[in-house]
Structures are given as C-alpha cells and as structure tokens.
Amino acid sequence: LERDAIFRKEHNIHVSGSNIPSPLHSFAELRSRYKCRLYLLRNLTELGFKEPTPIQRQAIPVLLSGRECFACAPTGSGKTFTFVFPILVKLKHTSKDGVRAVILSPTKELAAQTTRECRKLAKGKKFYIRSMTKQLAKSNDFSKLRCDVLISTPLRLQFAIRKGKLDLSRVEFLVLDESDKLFEAGMLEQVDFVVKACSNPSILRSLFSATLPDIVEDRARTIMHDAVRVIIGRKNS
Ligand code: ADP
Ligand code: MG
C-alpha cells in the first residue's frame, strides 16, 4: 500500500519480506485490528506510553499476524515491549501446559530487567512470568512449577534442559533478544541447543538486535523461515 510506504518513510522504518502488515498509527489500533485486551492498553497508559516507537509500530503487527520477525533498532528504542506485547496478547491467559514463551537474554541482568518489564505490562492479569535463577535452573521439579513466560540466559536454560526436567516442546514463542550478543562465539552453541529444544513445529521465532553484523543475518536465515525483516534507521547505527 502506498499509504503504508509513506508512513514507514516518515518513521524511518525499512522492511523486507512478503505480505507485510500495515504499521500502527496508534496504540488504539491494537484493539481495533487485533482485539487486544483492555488491561494491556490500560497498562500502556499507566506506563506513560502515548505513542508506539518506530520498531513497535511495525514489528508488533508483524508478530501479531503470526509472522516471524527479524528486527533491528537502536538501543533505547523500545524493543522489549515490542516482543513482550504480542506474547501477552497471543497467550491470552495463564495455562497449566507448561512454558509457552521463552525469551533469551545474553546476560542475567538483562534477563532480570526483561522479567520486570514483562510483569509491568502484564499487571492485573494472572500470568506466571519467571526469570531462570540459578536456584530454579538446579531445581528438580520444573514440571510442577507454573510458568507461562520464561526469561533466561542460554547457559542456564541449557543446564536445566540437560537435567531433563525442563520441557520446551510446547513453546509457542521464542525471542532472541540482543541477538548480536547471543551469536558471539561463547554463546552460539548454547543458543542453538535451546533453539533445538523448542521443538514445536508451529513455534514463532523472532530476533531482536541493535546492530546487524553478518553473523546475525546468517543465523536469522538458518533459524527462521519467511521472516519479515524490520530495520529502523540505518544499518549498524
Ligand atoms: P531497547 O531494548 O530497544 O534498548 P527498551 O525496550 O529497554 O529499549 O526501552 C527503553 C525505554 O523506553 C524503557 O524505559 C521503556 O520503558 C521505554 N519505552 C518503551 N516503549 C515506549 C513508548 N512507546 N513510549 C515511551 N517510552 C517507551
Ligand atoms: Mg533491549
């Protein structure tokens, strides 16, 4: 659509892929287009978010349309809510089916921060959102623990899976946050291990990063199929 192209240009949004959904003009469109629950819109208002950031305008509709997404936007541009929001919309409510969404973070500190952000957005709704602590990774009874969204470093997740107590075969959403860091030499193997463990054939994967080194492009192509690529601003800026 011509109108979408003009709007994207105004917001410095670059896209590639087939059948890309229209960017968001406002948060209110989340309700009219995607029937997003009111509690989520209320939480956005409470957080003081008036307008979506450029990455949110384009990548949220991509993910809500059930498309895989490969997103690159500068640090501080609101990438966390870009992937947390569609997860909460799509999960709808808590379930006893085990872990349904996994967010991989390169550091424990980022995992803890993402957990806090996720809980802020989910406020008022009963979801079990957990950070994989050292204690939790060692625990033997993951199957008895309620968990809708699990946020972890690749190492802790690999450790828990290897113990045979964590089943990720029902995961519907897998996010690789700061994927430029996740794909650095020391973590690449652990990331691949987790990607394989999330064996649900209808899983929706997404990659987020602030820079686009070749390794990210390469891994994005091997990990995802028919992904929509969303880049804000200039490459590597
Ligand atoms: P990134 O992951 O892209 O580096 P973050 O997701 O950490 O950025 O977001 C940076 C800051 O912007 C956070 O404090 C977050 O609460 C805030 N933020 C996110 N989306 C919006 C929005 N639409 N309007 C205002 N502030 C926002
Ligand atoms: Mg971030």
Give 81-104 pLDDT, tens digit per residue.
999 999 999 999 999 889 999 999
- Residue whose structure tokens are 């208002």: 45
The bound ligand whose nearest atom lies closest to the alpha carbon of 79 is: 1
In this prediction the pTM is 0.96
Cα of 103 vs centre of ligand 2, distance in Å, is 11
Cβ–ligand 1 contact at 142 (below 6 Å): no
**208 Cβ inside 6 Å of ligand 1:** no
Q: At CA 218, angle to CA 58 and CA 216, rounded to 5?
A: 55
Q: Which residues pair with residue 174 across a beta bridge?
A: 102, 205
75 lines ligand 1 (CB under 6 A): yes
Instruction: Name residues whose C-beta falls within 8 Å of residue 178's C-beta, 6 or more positions apart in sequence.
Output: 105, 106, 110, 208, 209, 210
**Strand arrangement, sheet containing 228-232:** 13-16, 228-232, 69-72, 204-209, 173-176, 101-104, 149-152, 129-131
What is the value of ipTM here, to two decimals? Answer: 0.99
pLDDT in tens, 119-147: 999 999 999 999 998 888 887 677 788 99
Hey, whose CA ends up nearest to atom 5 of ligand 1? 78
Tally of residues, the chain:
237
Of ligand 1's listed atoms, the one at least distance from the Cα of 56 is 23
CA of 114 to the centre of ligand 2 (A): 8
Residue 16: is it exposed, middle or buried by C-beta count within 10 angstroms (0-12/13-18/19+)?
exposed
Rounded-to-integer distance, Cα 101 and Cα 103, Å = 7
Index of the ligand 1 atom closest to the CA of residue 75: 4
Structure confidence by residue, pLDDT tens digits, 18-46: 999 999 999 999 999 999 999 999 999 99
Ligand closest to Cα of 57 equals 1
Please give the backbone phi and psi of residue 137, each rounded to the nearest 5 degrees, phi first.
-60, -30
Cα of 87 vs centre of ligand 2, distance in Å, is 16
Here the contacts of 210-213 (C-beta below 8 Å, separation 24 or greater) are 210/72, 210/73, 210/74, 210/75, 210/79, 210/178, 210/180, 211/72, 211/180, 211/236, 212/72, 212/180, 212/236, 213/180, 213/183
